[in-house]
Amino acid sequence: MNATGLDNLPQAKPRFIEPMYASPAAELPKGDEWLYEIKLDGYRCLAGRDSRGVTLWSRRANLFTRQFPTIARAFERLAPDTLVDGEVVAIDETGRISFNLLQHHRSKAKAIQFYAFDLLIHSGRSLLSVPLVDRRRLLVQALSTVSDPIRFSESFDTAPAELIAAAKQHAFEGIIAKRKDSWYQPGKRSRAWLKYKINCSQEFVVGGYTPGNPLDALIVGYYEGEKLYFAAKVRNGFVPHVRREVFQSLKGLESADCPFANLPEKKRTPWALTREEMKNCRWLRPDSVAQIDFTEWTPDGHLREAKFVALREDKNPRHVVRET
């Protein structure tokens, strides 16, 4: 797209725009109409530069500017009236991305980096209705004035099977497939963007807990339409100080009502939550999200060997769905 084409686009100023989201996929699509990116395990972040300076927003419109000052300073060299979409990640001593390091031990990270993958506003013009391949071409130009810790998130033309094998080897979270002609649809979970998870890990809504010094297990689930469904009791993954921090974060959400549509469960299994067991539960308003690792889904829809990773304050609970 040349300068004349940009001049014909709507004028726009950097502001928070709810990000576009990828839909879960059981397999990666094939074809020349798709490009593939590595799914990064970090915080979704929008970076805007206007005449007053740089603002960083989380996916829920919370300000990240003070949390990531090195990123904000780097974006000061971005052209005015520009808005970039990307992911903030922490790099550990081995060179791998670590979400746990990003959330709990940021000062120990070898590097905090911003991987830019989309351009929403460029030099005061909205690019939302511009095809993805053109937005990314303009993004490369826009990033030419900035340097570390800002990186361009590369895309790949590799066959999906080869890409999945490489992602597994490097312990990446997954792959994102995007249609090259896709427009940017704020706040939409579109089939034009698909995410394929490699490891068994995703976000779940926290709907309750069982007490015990100060909590024993989280009770988590996911949305199908307007209903929240129970998926697991999560006891593993807590060290003492994290257990206390999680309890402090959740105790203000206590509610008299169970938020899960499929409880109580009639069949008694190691993963079920029966009416008798529910007597010991403390219910919460479903306003909090946790990242959970697990080995697999059971045939009756529970998580096997669920393990707590972190609370995800950057995630909207209503966007949490079953991904695999």
Please report the pLDDT score of residue 98 as a whole number: 85
Determine the topology of domain 3-197 in CATH. D-amino Acid Aminotransferase; Chain A, domain 1 (3.30.470)
Quick one: how many helices (H) and strands (E) in the chain? Answer: 7, 19
Residue 163 C-beta-side C-alpha neighbours within 13 Å: 23
Which pLDDT does position 213 carry in this prediction?
87
- The two domains 3-197 and 201-319 share their CATH topology (first three levels equal): no
CA distance linking residue 173 with residue 196, whole number of Å: 9
Taking the C-alpha atoms of residue 276 and residue 257, their distance in angstroms, rounded to an integer, is 16
Helix (H, G, I), strand (E, B) or coil at 287: strand
290-322 tens-digit pLDDT? 999 998 898 889 999 999 999 999 999 999 999
Q: Where are the domains of the chain?
A: 3-197, 201-319
**DSSP reduced 3-state for 164:** helix
pLDDT, residue 65, reads: 96
pLDDT of residue 226: 96
In a 3-state reduction of DSSP, which class is residue 96?
A: coil
Structure tokens, 322: 């079953």
For domain 201-319, the CATH superfamily is: Nucleic acid-binding proteins (2.40.50.140)
| Site of tokens 């105790």 | 251
Residue 210 CB contacts under 8 Å (≥ 6 apart), including other chains: 216, 217, 219, 233, 280, 281, 282
CB 29 within 8 A of CB 171: no
Q: How far is residue 110's CA from residue 252's CA, in Å, rounded to a whole number?
A: 35
The pLDDT score that the predictor gives to residue 266 is 84
Successive 10-residue mean pLDDT values, the chain, 324 residues = 76 97 93 95 96 96 95 96 97 86 74 97 97 98 95 92 87 92 97 91 96 94 97 93 93 96 87 90 97 90 93 94 88
- Mind telling me the catalytic residues? 39
- Residue 171's pLDDT is what? 78
